[in-house]
Amino acid sequence: MARGEVLMELGDAEGALRDFNDAHERWSALGGPPADLLLLRASAYRAVGRATEALTDLGEALERADVFSAAQPLPSEEERKQALLTLRSDIFALRGQCLHEQHQLRPAIAAYDSAIALQPDHGILRLLRAAASYRRHLYLEAHEDVRCALESESMKLAAPLVIAEAQQLLGLTLARCGELWGAVAALSAAMHLHPPTAWLHVQRGTVLLMVERVEAAVTDFTDALELRPGWPLAHHRRGFALKSLQNFEAAAKDFEAAALGSRELRVNYLHVYREQVRSYDSVNYLLTLLRSIFAGAT
């Protein structure tokens, strides 16, 4: 299995899968594959987009979770118990990820629950569950999990990208809970930890609009468009910001670009805003609209 693990580390999931399949065949002739091999093959299946096969292997791995390949002898009973606990937790965690990717959020959260029950202080597990909870609109639960994840000892050893993603999710949960300035701070922290994506700029820009920092929001949307030229959503949000600054000509161009790039945003904003500009308080009307469409920035 060592060769397959090396291939996985190198990003050759197809090659790793072939190696794990060969090992699986050999073990099957000896009475059945060990759980750690099934976990590794499930990881390879997931990496090549074959989630159904991955879930099948994970189910079998749980049934055989007390069977190791014994590649590395475990000298004490205590070490064996810890290895079994970690193995079962890893199986549940990977099961949760496969289910999450298939948009089966409720069973994914249940799988993460089982993993966290075995390793309650594991920050990455809490971060995974937070992401699934957020997608199920369980914002308070997601916020608590991501907060615990960031405070965990394991997260202190995590790569900057992982910590940045945790800060990003923290920002989104804070925004959903109405703590807008906290959300801006968390999203800004994510940007300092790792080069930001276009999504992150749009997310922070949307929150900045909601706290009436309109010029800063325009900067974020512009940065998003530099990273992802022509993105309808970024044009759409920048159009709202420019309109609130009464830069109607530039706003109209952004709304037109958004409409050309997305059927969902295909609305004649130019006519609407020229006719109604005197009838609305620009910022308050903008905030009402943004709160109704904020889900699109997640």
167-178 pLDDT tens trace: 999 999 999 999
DSSP 8-state class, residue 157: G
113 and 8 in a common domain: yes
Task: Give ∠ CA 136-141-147 in degrees, rounded to 5.
Answer: 125
pLDDT score for 157: 86
CA–CA separation, 262 and 132 (whole Å): 27
pTM of this structure: 0.81
61 in Cβ contact with 42 (< 8 Å):
yes
Q: Which amino acid is at 172?
A: L
Domain CATH code at residue 203: 1.25.40.10
pLDDT score for 261: 79
CA–CA separation, 26 and 23 (whole Å): 5
Q: Is residue 290 included in any domain, yes or no?
A: yes
Q: Is residue 282 included in any domain, yes or no?
A: yes
Which residues are within 8 A (CB) of 172 and not within 5 positions of it... i.e. 6 or more apart?
A: 134, 183, 187, 203, 298
205 and 105 in a common domain: no
Q: Is residue 143 included in any domain, yes or no?
A: no
Which residues are within 8 A (CB) of 189 and not within 5 positions of it... i.e. 6 or more apart?
A: 164, 167, 171
105 and 10 in a common domain: yes
205 and 110 in a common domain: no
Q: Is residue 186 included in any domain, yes or no?
A: no
Q: Which domain holds residue 101?
A: 1-67+81-120
What φ, ψ does residue 71 adopt, rounded to 5°? -65, -35
- Name the burial class of residue 196, with classes exposed (0-12), middle (13-18) and buried (19+) by CB atoms within 10 angstroms of its CB: buried
Closest to 43 (Cα-Cα) out of 3, 90, 75: 90
For the cut 80, the answer to whether the pLDDT of residue 294 exceeds it is no
DSSP alpha helix (H) spans, the chain: 2-9, 13-28, 35-47, 51-63, 77-101, 105-118, 123-135, 139-151, 160-176, 180-193, 198-210, 214-227, 232-244, 248-261, 269-276, 282-293
pLDDT tens per residue, range 38-58? 999 999 999 999 999 999 999
Which residues are within 8 A (CB) of 244 and not within 5 positions of it... i.e. 6 or more apart?
A: 209, 214, 282, 283, 286
Q: Is residue 137 included in any domain, yes or no?
A: no
DSSP alpha helix (H) spans, 194-294: 198-210, 214-227, 232-244, 248-261, 269-276, 282-293
Q: Is residue 245 included in any domain, yes or no?
A: yes
Task: Give ∠ CA 267-230-246 in degrees, rounded to 5.
Answer: 55
For the cut 80, the answer to whether the pLDDT of residue 27 exceeds it is yes
- Name the burial class of residue 292, with classes exposed (0-12), middle (13-18) and buried (19+) by CB atoms within 10 angstroms of its CB: exposed
Q: Is residue 156 included in any domain, yes or no?
A: no
Ramachandran class of 138: left when φ > 0, alpha when ψ lies in -120 to 50, beta otherwise: beta
Which residues are within 8 A (CB) of 102 and not within 5 positions of it... i.e. 6 or more apart?
A: 51
Q: Which residues of 151-184 are buried (b: 16+ CB within 10 A; e: fewer)?
A: ebeebeebeeebbbbbbbbbbbbbbbeeebebbb
114 and 6 in a common domain: yes
Whose tokens are 């096969």? That residue is 53
Q: Is residue 274 included in any domain, yes or no?
A: yes
pLDDT score for 264: 66
Overall domain count for the chain: 2
Which of 76-90, 139-153, 185-199, 213-227 has the weakest average pLDDT?
A: 76-90
pLDDT tens per residue, range 80-124? 788 888 999 999 999 999 999 999 999 999 999 999 999 999 999
96 and 4 in a common domain: yes
